[in-house]
Amino acid sequence: MEPLVELVDIHKAFGGVRAVEGVNLTLYPGEVVALLGHNGAGKSTLMKMLAGAYPIDSGETRIGGQKVQIRTPAEAQSHGIETIYQTLALADNLDSVANLFLGREKLTPWRTLDDHFMEVQARQVFQRLNKNFTNIRTPVRRLSGGQRQVVAISRAIYFNARILVMDEPCAALGPEETRMVGNLVRQLKAEGVGIFLISHDMPDVFELSDRLAVMKNGKLVGTYRTSDVTEDEVLGMIILGKQPAGKTQAFAPV
């Protein structure tokens, strides 16, 4: 199976600070790869380069086996890459339909907003993810955290994301909403979407990810099948930069 994403020898520096140094990472269809590390480890910088927010200093990005240059978020989107940030980047004063199409509104032949088309499409994609989500004309500031995640994820998959970067998707969510997001992740996996999951929450990592990659001081400590390592071994990689003894790295899923 061909990787969706191959990041090869990626480097990024800000002044004299080497934020990402020689990182290699892959993502396959229907796979969740958790990206772990302390704040400042380089994981968010790495994902921002994939998302087009930062330019890569050196290295190579391949999407579907083809070398690409991703210089802007629009170029990332053109390659099927969407990012869901912890803040969700939703317009609180707008309803879910308007947020789904924000910046990519559908127009009629008369150059007016095609509200009917957008509402029909929105209902279909929201129902696909959560059949109980019906209050789509309510301003999103009045929605629960789980419903807001549905809107953010719907926006990504409606525009045909094949590669999804999720930054702390369960932060500040209650147990029921966390379960909802977990179900959404599993559904997207089943549909062949590849997901990079940035998280500090070990239960989420062990429940949702197939492989995990740990970064420290801009470098990749190691990449392992999640089922092959323990939480203590992962913490050892995060805190000490120490690979677990006797464990084989996994550069592709089973």
Q: What percent of the chain has pLDDT over 90?
A: 62
Higher pLDDT, 5 or 178: 5
pLDDT bin (cut points 50, 70, 90) of residue 158 is: confident
Q: Rounded to 5 degrees, what are φ and ψ at 87?
A: -80, -10
Query: Does residue 86 surpass a pLDDT of 80?
Result: no
Taking the complete model, does pTM exceed 0.95, yes or no? Answer: no
Q: Do 89 and 126 contact (CB within 8 A), yes or no?
A: no
Q: Which CATH class is domain 1-80+162-254?
A: alpha beta
Q: Is pLDDT above 80 for 85?
A: no
pLDDT in tens, 98-136: 999 988 889 899 999 999 999 999 998 888 777 888 889
In tens, the pLDDT along 209-223 reads 999 999 999 999 999
How much is the pLDDT for 88? Answer: 60
Reported as a pLDDT band with limits 50, 70 and 90, residue 155 is: confident
Question: In this structure, are residues 45 and 12 in contact, taking their beta carbons and an 8 Å threshold?
Answer: yes
DSSP result, 77-97? HHTTEEEE-TTTT--TTSBHH
Six-digit token pair at 2?
Answer: 């061909």
Domain map (residue ranges) of the chain? 1-80+162-254, 91-160
Q: How crowded is residue 100: how many other Cβ atoms within 10 Å of its Cβ? A: 24
> What pLDDT, on a 0 to 100 scale, did the predictor assign at position 25?
97
Both tokens of 241, joined, read 């930069």
Return the percentage of the chain with pLDDT > 70, whole number: 98
Higher pLDDT, 112 or 184: 112
Asked if 80 and 162 count as a contact pair (C-beta separation under 8 A), the reply is yes
The predicted structure's pLDDT at residue 81: 94
pLDDT score, position 171 = 72
Mean pLDDT of the region 62-91: 87
**pLDDT at residue 176 in the model:** 76
125: left (phi over 0), alpha (psi -120 to 50) or beta: alpha
pLDDT at 194: 96
